[in-house]
Amino acid sequence: MIRFDQVSVTYGDGAAPAVHGVDLTVPEGELVLVVGPSGVGKSTLLGTVSGLVPHFTGGTLHGRVTVDGRDTREHRPRELADVVGTVGQDPLAHFVTDTVEDELAYGMECLGLPPDTMRRRVEETLDLLGLADLRDRPVASLSGGQMQRVAIGSVLTTHPKVLVLDEPTSALDPAAAEEVLAVLQRLVHDLGTTVLMAEHRLERVVQYADRVLLLPAPGAAPVLGEPAEVMALSPVRPPVVALGRLAGWSPLPLSVRDARRRAAGLRERLDELEPPAGRDGPGSADGPGGGEPLAEVSSLSVRRGRVTALEKVDLTVRPGETIALMGRNGAGKSTLLNTLVGMYEPARGTVRLGGASGAVPHRTRPSGLLRRVGLVPQDPRDLLYADTVAAECAGADRDAGAEPGTCRALVSTLLPDVHDGTHPRDLSEGQRLALALAVVLTAAPPLLLLDEPTRGLDYAAKERLTGVLRALADDGHAVVLATHDVELAAELARRVVILADGEVVADGPSSEVVTSSPAFAPQTAKILAPRRWLTVGQVRTALEEAGVGA
Amino acid sequence: MTPRQPLAALRAPRATRSNALHAGAWWLWALGLATAASRTTNPLLLALIIAVTAYVVAARRTDAPWARGYGAFLKIALAVLVIRLFFAVFLGSPIPGTTVLFTLPEVPLPDWAQGVRIGGRVTAEGLVFALRDGLKLATMLVCVGAANALASPARLLKSLPAALYEAGMAVVVAMTFAPHLIADVRRLRAARRLRGRDDKGIKAVLRIGLPVLEGALERSVALAASMDARGYGRTARVPPAVRRTTAALTLGGLLGVCAGTYGLLAAQGAAFGLPVLLLGLAAALGGLWLGGRRAVRSRYRPDRWGARAWLVSASGAAVGAAVVRAAARLPDALAPPPVPLTAPELPLWPAAAVLAGLLPAFVAPVPAPRTETDAGSVSRTGQTPPAKETTRA
């Protein structure tokens, strides 16, 4: 269906090609997952299929890509629109019209299909994706998962033979991601659509893939093969695969179900061991405990417009604690973080930073607040205004009243290989996050808040972030992170707070909260249930210690 | 909200896609009211027109993002009124009033600036005149705002001729960008707080100008890529002869329209003005029709112009016609002279005619109740413009 013939892509100023030597065929009706670390050219490769690379993005394409017999060199993206459907990471950037029904019809209108065909296909697609109740809704009012389903539906109505998806579930909470993946699987099974998908969160998608296309490093030759075989070579891998490698299972399991069936032996071996407490594990919920609380929230309610975003929330954060805030999209996680930095005024209840004599965030001047609490927002770009890293650092020093060079020193620790002259927008997703983190840390706030820090990060970047945040917590900082990433929460947090509809529905040590709910349980916990092991790291440490002891 | 009528069939139905009122009908209705407003300076009549639009908007607008624009238009109208009064106070007024309210120190100006005055006497007559004049303009703005809130711009686009579609699309995309831009400004201004900088005042808004523009640019590039990949701008193959004829007709037609208009307006040449204008118009329309053959687009469920659309547009036209007629018949009641000062009177039958503009509030389909979209966490992202997933390009 898709044929890559010695394809390489070079962008204007790049010395090395972004993608090199891709020579393979994707057969009809397969779900192919493209994996690899950040910056290896996954998006570029996907772009060549829809013709956006090079027609839209520029750059030079060597070799040939044919989709259903059409050469993308001779066909512009609009002439491929009836064969290839493309959905990006941000559905809002994809929407052209303003209501769900119009959005589904837009592609067909462009192709000039007759009105009765359009009507029939819109109804079919509404049913296929479970969108019938939303047909008249403005697209801007949908939740993240609904938006992504509408975006997929909007390219399905033209009956494309190939569907290209770039990180379709990155922005979604676990339940919404399941929703989208179920739809994709249905398309592959029922309609024989060929799906080409790139995704960082492998733990969500790898089990659905028929084949995996691995781009191991920039410029390296890609590997296409059976998921289990490719995962054995891959530098990026989900916890289930990592656990499988640790235990030496072959072939490697890809889903929790496969792994559970093999895990009997491992569970027995682990039976005598205890999940290690302390830094690698969330076992000790009462660990930090001491000291004056850094933030106290009591029976807080916040209204935004006509909606009550938070209702009677209580939360106390003490030094050295790491708390994960979880819950579905729109549960109030971001609102809670933003209220802690004084962006919203509480409708009822109180927020206090730094003990009984502390400050009330929304009444504190920003310059004073800076030294008490720092927030890295969902999009780190919001914090970055200057046009070079050096200027950004100088600005941060001025804002915080810190010694000149403080911020730059932090940047050097977090990001060893970044030049002063780089534009913040040219950094990768992970580097930008690190820069924003350095900017916030310049004022040395004891309380650090992060909103969805792992969006768009690959496993390596996530691991670096985990290391940095652990070190901060050991230094006595308190870290609160709002996240959909259950693996990150398991790795990092000792305490998990789950919000639903603006209310706290669970608050406790992560080993208890997270394992009690299938939606929020990390893969390791699911495999090794009922024992409370949360991360592969814990298991590895425990096994090593046991090995030494024996 | 719905009229108590014995015949259930006559009651306004719940709005769905199939019985949606044609966007053009709302615009005709609003333009009718705006025409009425342009013909009177009677503040009571103008206030009545504003009240009519407000009632209809309150009764029939949906919960869609474009429907929230009415309030913004009200604010702009108020600003217009204030600016008009400001000029009347500081730059004087041509109205020869006698009731001096107060006297501002006058700036002496040289001889060549005769007729211009800064400061000086402020008379009640001058203020009243300025107030009425400003109110007229403000009312017309509010009428446009009402049409904006009631009719989806995208639906209106669907009624354009095929050859104009792409230009119209650009306009609609630009219009949907404005709310995104405002949301960006809000978000970035809030983010300044995180850097310890002040988030209030004009300065804070100006400082984030560049990041906001960068974000908008990124988003437009992403949207353009998405539109291209979905087939926007696909054209049918047209023989070169047809293409050339299209270009010639359109260009020649527009030239003809220009020449004809000039002929009509200039002192001489009124004789050839009209025929040239008509000829040019015909040629341009022919060009548009031919140009439509290049487009392969089809239309998905375009709005139908039904009986209710006729009623709505007719009610607007009736208001406009009645007030235009009244302006000729009762010049004193509709445009009360500023000197001497008198309390305005409400002319009865023009006022009754303006009330006919309320008809849409009874015949237009009722939008789905708003509480439905408010319930549950699903709509929460919709309530807050910079919704969670909106910001990343």
**pLDDT, tens only, B281-308:** 999 888 888 887 777 888 888 888 889 9
Distance between CA atoms of residues A109 and B231, nearest Å: 9
Q: What does DSSP assign to residue A187?
A: I
- Find which of A235-244, B75-84, B213-222, B362-371 is predicted with most confidence, using mean pLDDT: B75-84
Judged against a pLDDT cut of 50, whether residue A131 lies above it is answered with: yes
> How many residues are listed for chain B in this entry?
393
In the numeric block, which tokens belong to residue A158? Answer: 């033209």
Chain A contact for B375 (CB, 8 A cutoff): no
If one counts the domains in chain A, the total is 3
Q: What is the dihedral of CA B237, B240, B246, B248, to 10 degrees?
A: 160
Contact A349, A337 (CB under 8 A): no
Do A519 and A536 sit in the same domain of this protein?
no
- The answer to whether the Cβ–Cβ distance between B300 and A377 falls below 8 Å is no
Find the range with the poorest average confidence among A13-17, A121-125, A275-279, A353-357.
A275-279
The pLDDT score that the predictor gives to residue B132 is: 93
Q: Could you write out the three-class secondary structure of A301-317?
A: EEEECCEEEEEEEEEEE
Q: What percent of chain A has pLDDT over 70?
A: 96
- The answer to whether the Cβ–Cβ distance between B195 and A108 falls below 8 Å is no
Estimate the crossing angle of helix B23-38 against helix B43-60, to 10 degrees. 170
Q: Which residue of B has its CA nearest to A86?
A: B229
A-chain CB neighbours of B228 within 8 Å are 52, 55-56, 76-78
Q: Is residue A477 part of a domain?
A: yes
The b-or-e profile of B347-357 (16+ CB within 10 A means b, else e) is: beebbebbebb
Do A537 and A512 sit in the same domain of this protein?
no
Judged against a pLDDT cut of 50, whether residue A397 lies above it is answered with: yes
The pLDDT score that the predictor gives to residue B309 is: 93
The pLDDT score that the predictor gives to residue A284 is: 42
Distance between CA atoms of residues A447 and A344, nearest Å: 18
Q: What are phi and psi of A231, to 5 degrees?
A: -65, -30
Distance between CA atoms of residues A481 and A492, nearest Å: 10
Judged against a pLDDT cut of 60, whether residue B389 lies above it is answered with: no
- What secondary structure does DSSP assign to A380-418, as a single string? GGGG--SSSHHHHHHHHHHHHTPPTTHHHHHHHHH-TT-
Q: Is residue A279 part of a domain?
A: no
B-chain CB neighbours of A86 within 8 Å are 226, 229-230
User: For B180-238, what is each residue's pLDDT tens digit?
Assistant: 788 888 888 888 888 888 766 677 777 788 888 888 888 888 888 888 899 888 887 78
How close, in Å, is residue B196 to chain A by CA atoms? 4
B-chain CB neighbours of A330 within 8 Å are 377-378, 380-381, 388
B-chain CB neighbours of A53 within 8 Å are none
Do A264 and A313 sit in the same domain of this protein?
no
Which residues pair with residue A374 across a beta bridge? A448
B-chain CB neighbours of A379 within 8 Å are 391-392
The pLDDT score that the predictor gives to residue B270 is: 67
CA nearest to B305, candidates B27, B52, B3: B27
Do A197 and A344 sit in the same domain of this protein?
no
The pLDDT score that the predictor gives to residue A289 is: 52
Judged against a pLDDT cut of 50, whether residue B373 lies above it is answered with: no
Q: What are phi and psi of A11, to 5 degrees?
A: -90, 155
Name the B residues in 170-229 with CB < 8 Å from any A CB. Answer: 173, 176, 187-188, 190-199, 207-208, 210-211, 214-215, 219, 222-229
Relative to beta strand A223-225, strand A211-214 is antiparallel
First to last CA, chain A: 55
Do A439 and A550 sit in the same domain of this protein?
no
The set of long-range contacts for A515-521, using a CB threshold of 8 Å and a minimum separation of 24, is: A519/A174, A519/A175, A520/A174, A520/A326, A520/A486, A520/A489, A520/A496, A521/A486
User: For A288-328, what is each residue's pLDDT tens digit?
Assistant: 456 788 899 999 999 887 788 899 999 999 998 999 999 88
The pLDDT of B129-152, averaged and rounded, is 92
Please name the helix (run of DSSP H) or strand (run of DSSP E) that holds residue B149, with its range, or none. Answer: helix B124-150
The pLDDT of A350-369, averaged and rounded, is 83
CA angle B319, B323, B328 (to 5 degrees): 155
**Cα B197 vs. chain centroid, distance in angstroms?**
37
Relative to beta strand A2-10, strand A70-71 is unpaired
Contact A113, A106 (CB under 8 A): no
Name the B residues in 259-278 with CB < 8 Å from any A CB. Answer: none
Distance between CA atoms of residues B348 and A506, nearest Å: 66
Name the A residues in 93-112 with CB < 8 Å from any B CB. Answer: 93-99, 101-102, 105-112
Do A443 and A550 sit in the same domain of this protein?
no
| Domain spans of chain B, in order of start | 15-157+312-369, 238-294
The pLDDT of A527-536, averaged and rounded, is 86
Interface test with A, best of B192, B195, B303 (most A CBs within 10 A): B195
The pLDDT score that the predictor gives to residue B269 is: 65
> Residue A282: pLDDT band by 50, 70, 90 thresholds?
very low
Do A189 and A221 sit in the same domain of this protein?
yes
Q: Compute the radius of gyration of chain B from its Cα atoms.
A: 26
The pLDDT of A510-527, averaged and rounded, is 86
In the numeric block, which tokens belong to residue A128? Answer: 């296929």
Q: Is residue A421 part of a domain?
A: yes
The pLDDT score that the predictor gives to residue A151 is: 93
Inter-CA distances, A397 with A478, A538, B255, Å: 22, 39, 62
Judged against a pLDDT cut of 90, whether residue A49 lies above it is answered with: yes
A-chain CB neighbours of B188 within 8 Å are 382
CA nearest to A21, candidates A33, A4, A38: A4
- The answer to whether the Cβ–Cβ distance between A105 and B384 falls below 8 Å is no
Contact A318, A470 (CB under 8 A): no
Contact A104, A150 (CB under 8 A): yes
Contact A213, A34 (CB under 8 A): yes
Domain that holds residue A301: 284-523
> How many residues are listed for chain A in this entry?
550
First to last CA, chain B: 43
> Residue B370: pLDDT band by 50, 70, 90 thresholds?
low
The pLDDT of A385-407, averaged and rounded, is 88
Q: What are phi and psi of B303, to 5 degrees?
A: -65, 140
Distance between CA atoms of residues B79 and A527, nearest Å: 65
CA nearest to B139, candidates B67, B54, B57, B68: B54
The pLDDT of A517-538, averaged and rounded, is 86
Judged against a pLDDT cut of 90, whether residue B144 lies above it is answered with: yes
CA nearest to A392, candidates A362, A429, A436: A436
The pLDDT of A356-380, averaged and rounded, is 85
Q: Is residue A278 part of a domain?
A: no
Supply the mean pLDDT for chain A.
87
Of A89, A115, A425, Cβ closest to residue B300:
A115
Please name the helix (run of DSSP H) or strand (run of DSSP E) that holds residue B100, with its range, or none. Answer: strand B100-107
Contacts of residue B212, defined as CB under 8 A and 6 or more positions apart, other chains included, come to B181, B184, B185, B188
Contact A158, A82 (CB under 8 A): yes
The pLDDT of A250-267, averaged and rounded, is 88
Name the B residues in 278-297 with CB < 8 Å from any A CB. Answer: 296-297
Please name the helix (run of DSSP H) or strand (run of DSSP E) that holds residue A350, with its range, or none. Answer: strand A348-353
C-beta neighbour count of A320 within 10 angstroms: 21
- The answer to whether the Cβ–Cβ distance between B16 and A136 falls below 8 Å is yes
Distance between CA atoms of residues B393 and A229, nearest Å: 34
Do A195 and A338 sit in the same domain of this protein?
no
Longest dimension (CA), chain A: 75
Do A515 and A530 sit in the same domain of this protein?
no
Contacts of residue B26, defined as CB under 8 A and 6 or more positions apart, other chains included, come to B147, B150, B151, B312, B360
Q: Is residue A404 part of a domain?
A: yes
The pLDDT of A417-432, averaged and rounded, is 83
Contacts of residue A545, defined as CB under 8 A and 6 or more positions apart, other chains included, come to A273, A276
Contact A423, A388 (CB under 8 A): yes
User: For A145-180, what is each residue's pLDDT tens digit?
Assistant: 788 889 999 998 998 999 999 988 887 888 888 888
Q: Compute the radius of gyration of chain A from its Cα atoms.
A: 24
> Residue A276: pLDDT band by 50, 70, 90 thresholds?
low
A-chain CB neighbours of B210 within 8 Å are 385
Distance between CA atoms of residues A498 and A506, nearest Å: 5
The pLDDT score that the predictor gives to residue A290 is: 63
Q: Is residue A277 part of a domain?
A: no
Residue linked to tokens 């993240």: A144
Q: Which of A176, A211, A236 is the last residue of a domain?
A: A236
The pLDDT score that the predictor gives to residue A356 is: 65
CATH number of the domain bearing residue A463: 3.40.50.300
The pLDDT score that the predictor gives to residue B8 is: 65
The pLDDT score that the predictor gives to residue A85 is: 93
The pLDDT of B272-288, averaged and rounded, is 87
Do A404 and A501 sit in the same domain of this protein?
yes
Do A246 and A346 sit in the same domain of this protein?
no
Q: What percent of chain A has pLDDT over 90?
A: 31
A-chain CB neighbours of B178 within 8 Å are none
**Cα A368 vs. chain centroid, distance in angstroms?**
32
Judged against a pLDDT cut of 80, whether residue A1 lies above it is answered with: yes
Contact A305, B374 (CB under 8 A): no
Judged against a pLDDT cut of 60, whether residue A103 lies above it is answered with: yes
Do A92 and A229 sit in the same domain of this protein?
yes
The pLDDT score that the predictor gives to residue B335 is: 87
